[in-house]
Structure 1
Amino acid sequence: MSEKPGNQTPNTPDVSETELRNMKVDELRNEAKEENIPGTSGMRKEELVKEVAKARQEGADHNQGKDTGAEAEDAQDLGAGPDGGKVRYGDDSSKSLKYSQEITSTDEEPEREGRSLATTHHEVIRQWAEERGGVPATVDGTEHGDHLGVLRIDFRDKDANLREVSWEEWFKTFDERRLNFIYQEQRTDGTQSNFFRLENPDREDA
């Protein structure tokens, strides 16, 4: 029986049968046994090639499915923060928090212009700030040892007391202090709003 070039086994696009055919029969048989393929001792080389090719493809499909699932999970959780964007409540939650629209996704829109919004979603906050030219910052002189002090968004309005920090540092402190981000997208007249404030439901300094 002459050996044919290329891939002769259906549904195995990720497997090179040419590579398998270059292997020795004993090597193919050993791999087939490792893949728990039955009857390998009586198989000829071409049969071993086909069975090993199928087993390799099944393994590739399985791993690809796992990677896709992990990627989907990462994408779903990307930038949400530990509370999935949900508002944090405590004994001293303000009335403004109570009456704000909760935003838990970058796809959500305000119910109306001028609506007060609240979120803990990292990506929502970052996008809101960057759309307005804002960067994460802390108020100089309010640090606690190695910990950041009062958190702010710096809109480059020349406030000498603000020091720019990384988003990673900013959100780490934001979550450790269980803060909420209360903000507006637009004013009631429809123009862009830069209003925001940070609130802790337990009334610690933001």
Structure 2
Amino acid sequence: MAGKTRVTVDHGEIQRWAEERGARPAAVVGTGTGGPGVLRLLFPGTQSGRLEEIDWTAFFTKFEQKELAFLYQERTRDGAQSRFFRLIKRTHVGEGSSQRSREVA
């Protein structure tokens, strides 16, 4: 699946992908009231800057509230492990968005 992009709303798949890369759930400081704000993943060796670590429960609660989907790659074109991901609105997923996980063009 080198270079292929997938999209999912499956919490287990998202957490597996992140943990395989050593990433932890995070939120941008100052962007939320009464809970986490803008969601991110914090990878090892990157500056946390304005990010604060949150737990997976808080991450997925916000993920569902905002009706997000996780767009990602497992591998780059040359076969290396990819860190590429985006959190997108589910409405942007398009046809077939009722599936929990699928490959996108």
- 1:159: Cα distance to partner? 2.4
Aligned to 1:46: none
Aligned to 2:35: 147
* In the alignment, structure 1 residue 136 sits paired with structure 2 residue 22: no
Q: Aligned AA for 2:3?
A: G
Aligned to 2:52: 163
- 1:172: Cα distance to partner? 0.5
Q: Aligned AA for 2:86?
A: R
Using the size of structure 2 for normalisation, the TM-score is 0.82
Identity %: 42
Q: Aligned AA for 2:77?
A: T
- What are the equivalent positions in structure 2 for 1:177-192 lying under 5 Å apart? 177-192=66-81
- What are the equivalent positions in structure 2 for 1:186-201 lying under 5 Å apart? 186-201=75-90
CA deviation map 1:135-164 (0-9, x unaligned): 000011111x20311000100312211100
Tell me how far apart the structure 2 counterparts of residues 195 and 161 of structure 1 sit (CA, whole Å): 20
Aligned to 2:16: 127
Q: Aligned AA for 1:196?
A: F
Tell me how far apart the structure 2 counterparts of residues 201 and 180 of structure 1 sit (CA, whole Å): 5
RMSD after superposition:
1.3
Unaligned segments of structure 1, at least 5 residues: 1-111
- 1:201: Cα distance to partner? 3.6
Q: Which has the higher strand share?
A: 2
Tell me how far apart the structure 1 counterparts of residues 75 and 90 of structure 2 sit (CA, whole Å): 25
Give the number of equivalent residue pairs. Answer: 91
List structure 1 segments (4+ residues) > 3 angstroms apart after TM superposition: none
Tell me how far apart the structure 2 counterparts of residues 194 and 161 of structure 1 sit (CA, whole Å): 20
CA deviation map 1:144-190 (0-9, x unaligned): x2031100010031221110000000001101111000000000000
Q: Tell me which structure has the larger Cα radius of gyration.
A: 1
- What are the equivalent positions in structure 2 for 1:1-206 lying under 5 Å apart? 112-143=1-32, 145-156=33-44, 157-201=46-90
Tell me how far apart the structure 1 counterparts of residues 27 and 59 of structure 2 sit (CA, whole Å): 8
